[in-house]
Amino acid sequence: MPDQLIYAMEVSLNGLMAGVMYALVALGFVLIFKASGIFNYAQGVLALFAALTLVGLQNGQVPFAHVINAIFGTDLHHFGWQLPGLVAIALTALVMVGLAILIERLILKHLVNQEPIILFMATIGLAYFLEGLGDVMWGADIKTLDVGLPQGISETIDEVTFNLFGYGFFIDRLDIVATVVAALLVASLTAFSQYTKYGRALRAVADDHQAALSVGISLRFVWVLVWSIAGFVALVAGIMWGSKSGVQFSLSLIALKALPVLMLGGFTSIPGAIVGGLIIGMGEKLFEFFAGPLIGGATENWFAYVLALVFLVFRPQGLFGERIIERV
């Protein structure tokens, strides 16, 4: 097999893995968009906030330490405990549920029946608020997140591919974990929404508010539920991205990469978010590999958006999105 082809295979595999990461963020968007028609700009920041909280709780950081120290002249920084990864994750999940309740109480409740654009603006506000809150609570320094996920080159794949092609692929074990986790997440979310009564309530609200009310579904409860699930998905995304590249504020920008993913996959489809993520991830890596040297590189910055634009022209509802036909 020619070397070029083998390299391309490695690149596309790595692209697929990166795509899983995009898909994880996109998944959070889809969940909220489906259930409430809100494009949640804050999804990326939600992931950042979750990762910050996770690191903070795990390392026993004192929240708001800067503020407390500045006011009382104390010198607090750590409680001095170190929590096991799973405990910290469970606690963070609880914090995300609390956050979902607060978001419903303080924002969504007051914006019922408003235009989608108003709700969108509200989520932009929420995004900046959460970013600031994360900063004040846990500090702005770059943190390392280690909940015990395996990292580094996967020797098995290296060996297997070396025996096959005479060239060992470099695949990060973290990426493999992320793929497995994403698959589990999607499977359980799908099962939850298809076969449980809350899933049915969720789909009902997404479909028709009035009808949902008439069968006894509380919209407010469903919103809290949806935002909790989105918070949980954000936590998973935060763990994966945080373990990969450290918890830093640029993490919130990955939300922007989820946009082309959604345009490709469709805003209303969970499988769409996954497939869209994979296509973007693999596409941008392959494009960089083949076309990058010809046009001077750095194509990863814009390739996803151009691909999304092309899709908008030919299939505006995305690969799996619902085609919206308004009857006249």
Partner 1 sequence: MNLQDSQMNPEGYTTADGRRIGGALMEMKNITLRFGGVKAITDISFDIREGEIRAIIGPNGAGKSSMLNVISGFYVPQEGEVWFRGQRRAPMKPYEVAQQGIARTFQNIALFEGMSVLDNIMTGRLTQMKTGLLEQAIWWGRAQKEETAHREKVEKVIDFLEIQHIRKTPVGRLPYGLKKRVELARALAAEPKLLLLDEPMAGMNVEEKEDMCRFILDVNDEFGTTICLIEHDMGVVMDLSDRVVVMDYGKKIGDGPPDEVRNNQAVINAYLGVAHA
Q: What ranges make up the beta strands (E) of the chain?
A: none
Three-state secondary-structure class, residue 235? helix
Q: Does 328 bind partner 1 (CB under 8 A)?
A: no
In sequence order, the 6+-apart residues with CB closer than 8 A to the CB of 293 are none
Q: Does 271 bind partner 1 (CB under 8 A)?
A: no
- DSSP structure string for 153-171: B-HHHHHHHHHHHSS----
Task: Indicate if the alpha-carbon torsion angle 72, 74, 75, 76 is positive or negative.
Answer: negative
Residue in 218, 290, 291, 301 binding partner 1, rule: CB under 8 A = 218
By CB under 8 A, how many residues form the interface with partner 1?
26
Q: Does 217 bind partner 1 (CB under 8 A)?
A: yes
Burial 249-287 (b: 16+ CB within 10 A, else e): eebbebbebbbbbbbbbbbbbbebbbbbbbbbbbbbbbb
Residue in 225, 240, 251, 307 binding partner 1, rule: CB under 8 A = 225
CA distances from 266 to 115, 149, 288, 312, 314 (A): 21, 31, 25, 10, 13
Which residue, 92 or 269, has its beta carbon nearer to partner 1?
269
Which residue, 50 or 217, has its beta carbon nearer to partner 1?
217
Number of neighbours of residue 202 by Cβ within 10 angstroms: 23
- Region near partner 1 per CB under 8 A, out of 62-70, 197-205, 233-241, 296-304: 197-205
- Region near partner 1 per CB under 8 A, out of 24-32, 119-127, 205-213, 237-245: 205-213
Q: Does 207 bind partner 1 (CB under 8 A)?
A: yes
Shortest Å distance, C-beta 213 to partner 1? 4
Q: Does 211 bind partner 1 (CB under 8 A)?
A: yes
Binding mask 157-196 for partner 1 (x = CB under 8 A): ----------------------------------xx--xx
Which residue, 110 or 197, has its beta carbon nearer to partner 1?
197
**Contact set with partner 1 (CB under 8 A):** 191-192, 195-201, 203-204, 206-208, 210-219, 225, 322
